[in-house]
Structure formats: C-alpha cells, structure tokens
Amino acid sequence: MNCCTIHTHDSVRRMRTTGAIAALIAILIGAAALPCGAQDLISGRWEGSARVPDDELTVVVDLAQQNGAWAGSIIMPGFGVKGVPLTDIKVEPPDVTFAVKGPLGIRMNLRLLPPPENKLAGNFEQAGNHAPATLKKTGPPQVEYPLKSTPVAKELEGEWKGDYQMLGYPRHVSIKFANHPDGATADFVIVGRKRNVLPVDLVTQESDLVTVDSHAMGFTFEGRLRDGRLTGAVRQGPVETPLVLERRK
C-alpha cells in the first residue's frame, strides 16, 4: 500500500513536470509567433488622412517586408507626392515609424490598433507641425520600388543649359549627362538667389523622352529631345514651369 502510494505520487509529480514543460513550450512558441503575426498585419496598403487645421491631407502608405527588411512608399496628392520611398522605417509591433526625406520633412509615428479596428493611428509631423492621422488597411502592399537609371543617347551626353522663372525670380539651370556601365548620371544645378546642386537619384531615357529626378529635393525635369533641344518642364511638388534646355557650346 505504501509502495503503491509512493509510486502514485512519483507518477503525479512526473505528469505535473511534463505538463509544466509542455505549457512553457507552448507559451514560448506563442510569444515567438506574436511579433510575426503583428508584422503580417502591418504589411499592406494603408489609406487615410492627416487632419491639419482647416483641411485633411490624403495619405496612402504601402509597407512590405522583403528578405527580413521593411520597404515602403507614400502617396500624398496634396503635396504632389506619388510613390516616394519611405526612409528610417522602424516596425516594433504595435508601433510603426517612418520618414520622407527632402524638403517636405515628413515623419509619421503610428500604432496598430487592436482588432477589429484594422487601423494605424498616431501622429503626422511636417515642418515642425503636428496633426493626428488615421490610416485603414485596404489591401496588399503596392510598394513603388526605386527605378534604376538607364543609359542615355550619345547626342544627350554633355552639358545642357536653360532658364525659367518661378515665384517671380529667374532660375538658371544646368544639367550635365554622363553614361556609366550601370546607367546614366546627371549633375543638376539650379542657380537663383543661391546656387543649388540637386542630388539626382534617377535618369531615364525612353525614345526621345528624358527624365531627371531629385526625389530628395522634390524636383523633376522631363523633356523631349527634338531638333537639338530638350523641350519640357521642371516640376517642384505641384508647381510645374516650362523649360527649354540647349546644349552648351
């Protein structure tokens, strides 16, 4: 009887120990899976607005994971922003932060609300101003990844110059194209009241259409190469001004 009692107590202790270990394993597995699940919830297209005084700014954000790293892009029609890459993306569920570099200086600090909200809510910052923002998930991510520069035609290589006016001030423009094994580059200089060297991150040519982008500064030149001229426009945000460039002699 005593022996049976002892064996029974040992069995109970073993069962309790086994059960405790199984429960601990289940807790650890669940804890490890939680961040991944939260990250899956954050990946997607988020649409909403930032409620600035007397207005609402439409905001569309795409967030996705690739090879363990986050990538994203943003659309803000009110600022003339479409598919601009996000920088400084930090995802620590439920918190999400990212920035848009350049003259806009946008930063968003958001938090994933618990189900069934399916929303990111938080703070929109721009040029020292703050506004509440709420974005709702509307579908899978549609991140616009940065394009790669293409080579340009031989007749485009070299320096091109032209002038335009913006806000009542004359601007002198110089764009110098050069081909490299991985695509073309361009030195993009605008001289007004001061000299600005714009960092160029994309140069493309498709047939006679030439595009030079400085996403960081919000500047784009787009023109057609015809009759020895580049005829097009320079765009800064929503403002577009005609510009004709001629090869420097």
Domain ranges for the chain, please list them: 1-42, 43-139, 154-247
Instruction: Indicate if the pLDDT at residue 20 is higher than 60.
Output: no
Domain 43-139 and domain 154-247, same fold? Reply is: yes
Sheet holding 44-50, edge to edge: 81-85, 69-76, 57-66, 44-50, 129-139, 119-126, 106-112, 95-100, 87-92
How many Å apart are CA 109 and CA 120, to the nearest integer? 9
Lowest mean pLDDT among 5-9, 15-19, 117-121: 5-9
Thinking of the domain 43-139, which architecture would CATH place it in?
A: Beta Barrel (2.40)
Q: What is the pTM of this model?
A: 0.60
pLDDT of residue 37: 62
pLDDT of residue 105: 85
Task: Please name the fold of domain 154-247.
Answer: Lipocalin (2.40.128)
| Residue 65: both structure tokens together | 């994971």
Per DSSP, 34 falls in state H
